[in-house]
């Protein structure tokens, strides 16, 4: 167990500090405004020129000086009217209270200040859709090359229409995915199901063979593009890629059924094909895939080199149902990844909504400035 030394209270910052100030509690269970709120770290209080540690330390409580001159840490609800309660916000000793944060937290960022909510990836953190929408719209405006990397959950769960919208509206530079994304998308176009499951999530009778029948139709046509031309595939993600000429790379895996024609069954050839796009990438959006997200993360630089030689961070959004994939991506070196812990279907739906709002706001601003708006 780490042990640690008490601070050197002979140092000038401590020697010149005032005594802590105490104010009586205004009522039972009510603390004075500006009360000092405790942490769970070693804490020293200057009383009568002497630095002392209070008894019964815990966080989220008050510092009380009793009639005998003893210092206690006490929950607010247990404080009685008139009890002497320490006030002040400073934790650096300048108001007579010192929290020895470096003791265990290390000397890192923010000088080891005690804080809540410091984990990097958490479902409890707010998701800034407005920011992500703005980045996407700006990428489109400056002719950037956002690479989207998606897993099959996206198609399963009806985000298919939203993904198609992003492709059709110029927000996708290239799509990197596996055979399954295309298979489920095409099954949805041909049969209206994914893995035999209907839009409302019901398993259908005979449904287990539908993805195989969809694959077989495309194999019979010879290619995905040809199947689009023949009208076998009438809508959806692959249809949009073909008709909008958005490049896609379908990478093979050992889980693949079929596979569809055009899938890179050799993983090294697939890596080379992916890298042609990651080299050009100015942004990355990774949705619901561990395998493809980490593969792409391995290939992506953390930065973009602009034409003028300046560098900026390569914006990387990683969406998954659990904190795990994003943490894993960071653990494999993609430190710049911004994690969103949510359901892929919901992510796509709200992101599209915010992008539409951002576009509307820009059209409005253009109109106000007398500019013919054909942004959308």
Distance CA 344, CA 324 (A): 15
Task: Enumerate residues 37-76 that contact a copy of itself by CB under 8 A.
Answer: 37, 39-42, 53, 56-60, 75-76
Q: How many CB atoms lie within 10 A of CB 122?
A: 12
290 binds a copy of itself (CB under 8 A): yes
321 binds a copy of itself (CB under 8 A): yes
**CB 194, CB 155: distance < 8 Å:** yes
360 binds a copy of itself (CB under 8 A): no
Interaction mask 136-165, a copy of itself, x per CB under 8 A: -----------------x--xxx-------
- Region binding a copy of itself by CB under 8 A among candidate stretches 22-30, 167-175, 238-246, 364-372: 22-30
Question: Which residues have C-beta within 8 Å of that of residue 303, sequence separation ≥ 6?
Answer: 311, 312, 313, 314
Q: Which is nearer to a copy of itself, 111 or 364 (CB)?
A: 111
> Exposed, middle or buried by CB within 10 Å (0-12, 13-18, 19+), for 60?
exposed
105 binds a copy of itself (CB under 8 A): yes
Distance CA 233, CA 187 (A): 9
Q: How many CB atoms lie within 10 A of CB 205?
A: 7
Q: How far is the CB of 240 from a copy of itself (least distance, A)?
A: 20
With CB under 8 A as the contact rule, the residue among 12, 108, 143, 231 that binds a copy of itself is 108
For residue 47, CA distances in Å to 19, 22, 165 come to: 5, 10, 66
Ramachandran area for residue 34 (φ above 0: left; ψ -120 to 50: alpha; else beta) = left
- Region binding a copy of itself by CB under 8 A among candidate stretches 3-11, 15-23, 232-240, 363-371: 3-11
Interaction mask 164-203, a copy of itself, x per CB under 8 A: -------------------------------xxx-xxx-x
359 binds a copy of itself (CB under 8 A): no
- Region binding a copy of itself by CB under 8 A among candidate stretches 10-18, 164-172, 228-236, 326-334: 326-334
Distance CA 97, CA 89 (A): 9
């Amino acid at each position: 167990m780490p042990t640690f030394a008490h601070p050197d209270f002979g140092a000038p910052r401590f020697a010149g500090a005032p005594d802590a100030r105490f104010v009586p509690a205004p009522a039972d269970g009510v603390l004075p405004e500006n009360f000092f709120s405790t942490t769970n770290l070693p804490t020293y209080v200057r009383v009568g020129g002497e630095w002392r540690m209070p008894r019964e330390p815990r966080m989220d409580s008050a510092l009380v000086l009793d009639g005998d001159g003893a210092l206690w840490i006490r929950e607010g609800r247990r404080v009685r009217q008139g009890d002497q309660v320490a006030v002040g916000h400073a934790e650096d000793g300048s108001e007579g209270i010192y929290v020895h944060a470096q003791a265990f937290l290390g000397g890192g960022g923010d000088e080891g200040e005690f804080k809540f909510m410091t984990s990097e990836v958490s479902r409890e953190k707010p998701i800034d859709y407005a920011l992500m929408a703005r980045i996407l719209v700006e990428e489109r405006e400056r002719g950037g090359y956002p690479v989207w990397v998606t897993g099959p959950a996206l198609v399963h769960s009806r985000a298919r229409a939203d993904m198609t919208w992003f492709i059709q509206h110029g927000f996708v530079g290239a799509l990197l995915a596996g055979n399954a994304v295309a298979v489920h998308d095409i099954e949805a176009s041909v049969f209206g199901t994914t893995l035999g499951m209907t839009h409302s999530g019901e398993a259908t009778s005979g449904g287990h063979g539908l993805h195989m029948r969809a694959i077989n139709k495309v194999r019979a046509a010879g290619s995905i593009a040809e199947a689009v031309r023949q009208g076998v595939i009438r809508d959806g993600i692959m249809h949009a890629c073909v008709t909008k000429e958005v490049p896609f790379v379908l990478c093979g895996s050992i889980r693949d059924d079929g596979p569809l024609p055009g899938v890179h069954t050799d993983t090294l050839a697939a890596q080379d094909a992916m890298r042609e796009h990651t080299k050009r990438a100015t942004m990355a959006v990774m949705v619901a895939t561990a395998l493809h997200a980490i593969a792409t993360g391995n290939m992506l630089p953390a930065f973009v080199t602009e034409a003028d030689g300046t560098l900026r961070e390569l914006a990387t959004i990683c969406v998954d149902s659990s904190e795990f994939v994003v943490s894993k991506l960071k653990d494999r070196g993609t430190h710049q990844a911004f994690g969103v812990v949510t359901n892929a279907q919901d992510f796509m739906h709200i992101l599209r909504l915010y992008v539409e709002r951002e576009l509307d706001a820009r059209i409005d601003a253009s109109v106000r400035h007398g500019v013919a708006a054909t942004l959308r």
